[in-house]
Amino acid sequence: MLYTLGIYFYGFLLKLGSLFHPKAKKWVNGRKNFWNKIPHLSNQNLVWFHCASLGEYDQGKPIMEAWKKAHPKDFILVSFFSPSGYENVKDKSVGDYTCYLPLDTKKNAKKFMQHFKPSVVFFVKYEIWVNHLKAAKKSGAKLYSVSASFRKNHRFFQWYGGTFRKALFLFDHIFVQYPLSKELLSKIGVQNVTVSGDTRYDRVAQRAEEEKENSIIAPWAKNESIFVIGSSWPDDEEMILPYMNDYKINTKVIIAPHEIDRAHIQEIIDRLKVSYQLYTNIQNGEELKRHTQVLILDCIGVLADAYRYGNIAYVGGGFGTGLHNILEPASFGLPVIFGPIHKKFPEAQEFINNGIAKSCDENKSFFEAYTLFAKTPSIQTQVKEFIASKRGATQIVMEEIQSSE
C-alpha cells in the first residue's frame, strides 16, 4: 500500500514538475494517450525488455539481438522509464515496438500485461518496478534480471527495503555483473543467480569491430594524436581547457559536451584560446581545416564513433553528476581519465586496478594521468586485451535461459 501511494505521489510530482522542467515534461507528454497508441498483436510470441535509460538499453541490446537471431519470429517490445533513453532510441531501436513504461500502479501493470501478454520479460540492471513484475509473474511470464549490479547500501539490503527485497524473488533468474552482487543476494536468500559479467562489453567490442568511418573526422585525424573529451560537464571543462590553451595538451582535441544547448557551447567557445570548429557547421558545408586544434561535437550521435580516432580519452560526469560510459572509448583501445566520484560504477575501479584508467581530483592529477598515458605506447594494446577478456556475458545469459526452457 505504501509503495503504491508513493508511486501515485511520484506521478503527481512529475506532472507538477512538467510545468517547469523540460525532461519532466517529456516524461509526462510521452505517456499521454499511451493506451491508444500501442499496437494490437495476435498470435505472436512477445518478449519484453525494460530499460531505465540509454545506458541500460546498451546493456540489453546484445541480448535483444541474440534473442532476435535465435527467435526471429518473436515480437520484441522495448520500454523505457526515462526520456533520455526513449528519445535517443525510438527511431533506431532493436525492438519491434518501443515505448515508455506507464506509471507503476497496479491498474496500469494489469492492463499492460493483459494487452501485451509477454512470455518472457527482461529487466535490465537496476530496474525493479514491483507492480509490473508482480503482474508479469501472475500472467505466467518468465522473468529475468540481466547485467544486474548490487551494492551494500542498496535499498534491497536495508531495514526499509522489504517490498523491493520480496520483488527479487519474483525473478526466475538473475544475471549479475560481479561476484559481490551474488554474495549480497545470497545473504538474503536469493539463490537463482549467475555471475555473467556486463553485456556492455559485448556491445562496445562489437561496435569497435565495425569498419565505420566518419567522413568528416577521418581526414582531419589522419596520422594525428587525438585527445577525446567525452560527455563533459562544466567542472570537467574548467579543469582541462587551460591545459589546451597553454598548449600543454598540444595534440588535436575532440570535445563532446554532455549538454549541447547553445549557452553551454558558447561557454566552451569563450574559454578556448586555440583554433576550433563546430561539427554542425562542417555538416552544413564549412571546411574542416587541417590545422584546427579543437573539434567541438555540438550534436548527439557522433561521440561513440569519434572515439575510434582517439589515443587518450577523458570521460565526464565524475565530479558529481554520475560517470558516463567509459567502456566506449576503451573498446577502441583508449586509456581513460575521469573524476573522483565513481563508487557507483564498479567498472571504473576495475579499469584503475588494471592500469588502463586514472581517476583525478584536481588539475595536477589530471595532467599527470594524461602525461603518463601519452608516454606509454603499449597502453592501447593493454586496453584492447582487457576489453577482449571481458566479453561473453551475452552468451552466458542465452545459454542459461535456453537450458532451462
Closest CA to 148 of 128, 119, 125: 125
The identity of residue 199, as a single letter, is: T
Q: What kind and span of H or E run contains 50?
A: strand 46-51
- Looking at residue 19, its pLDDT comes to 87
Give residue-wise pLDDT tens across range 187-230: 999 999 999 999 999 999 988 988 789 999 999 999 999 999 99
DSSP state for residue 18 in the 8-state scheme: T
Backbone angles phi, psi at 36, to 5 degrees: -85, -15
- 27-198+392-404 matches 214-389 in fold: yes
- Looking at residue 321, its pLDDT comes to 76
Give residue-wise pLDDT tens across range 131-166: 999 999 999 999 999 999 999 999 999 999 999 999
368 is catalytic: no
Closest CA to 205 of 395, 64, 390, 51: 390
Q: Identify how many contiguous H helices and E strands the chain contains and give both numbers.
A: 20, 14
- Report yes or no: 307 and 228 within 8 Å, Cβ to Cβ: yes
DSSP-assigned beta bridge partners for residue 312: 227
Instruction: Give the pLDDT band (50/70/90) at residue 377.
Output: confident
Alpha-carbon distance 58 to 7, whole Å?
27
Q: Per the CATH hierarchy, to which homologous superfamily does domain 214-389 belong?
A: Glycogen Phosphorylase B; (3.40.50.2000)
Alpha-carbon distance 180 to 227, whole Å?
34
- Looking at residue 289, its pLDDT comes to 96
- Report yes or no: 58 and 200 within 8 Å, Cβ to Cβ: yes
Mean pLDDT of 8-23: 87
Backbone angles phi, psi at 340, to 5 degrees: -80, -15
Task: Kindly tell me if the per-residue pLDDT of 287 is higher than 90.
Answer: yes
Instruction: Give the pLDDT band (50/70/90) at residue 11.
Output: confident
Alpha-carbon distance 351 to 203, whole Å?
17
Rounded to two decimals, the pTM is: 0.87
Report in angstroms the alpha-carbon separations of 179 from 86, 193, 257, 355, 384.
31, 10, 34, 21, 23
- At residue 75, the 3 state secondary structure works out as strand
- Report yes or no: 171 and 192 within 8 Å, Cβ to Cβ: yes
Task: Kindly tell me if the per-residue pLDDT of 284 is higher than 90.
Answer: yes
C-alpha cell at 116: 501485451
- Looking at residue 84, its pLDDT comes to 83
> Mapped to the 3 state alphabet, what secondary structure does 155-200 carry?
HHHCCCCHHHHHHHCCCCEEEECCHHHHHHHHHCCCCCEEECCCCH
Pairing, β 142-148 against β 120-124 = parallel
- Looking at residue 392, its pLDDT comes to 96
- Report yes or no: 102 and 74 within 8 Å, Cβ to Cβ: no
Assigned fold of 27-198+392-404: Rossmann fold (3.40.50)
Closest CA to 144 of 130, 115, 166, 124: 124
Instruction: Give the pLDDT band (50/70/90) at residue 301.
Output: confident
List all residues 6 or more positions away from 95 whose beta carbon is below 8 Å from its beta carbon: 49, 64, 76, 77, 78
Task: Kindly tell me if the per-residue pLDDT of 81 is higher than 90.
Answer: yes
- At residue 78, the 3 state secondary structure works out as strand
- Give the number of C-alpha atoms closer than 13 A to the C-alpha of residue 305, restricted to the C-beta side: 13
Domain positions in the chain: 27-198+392-404, 214-389
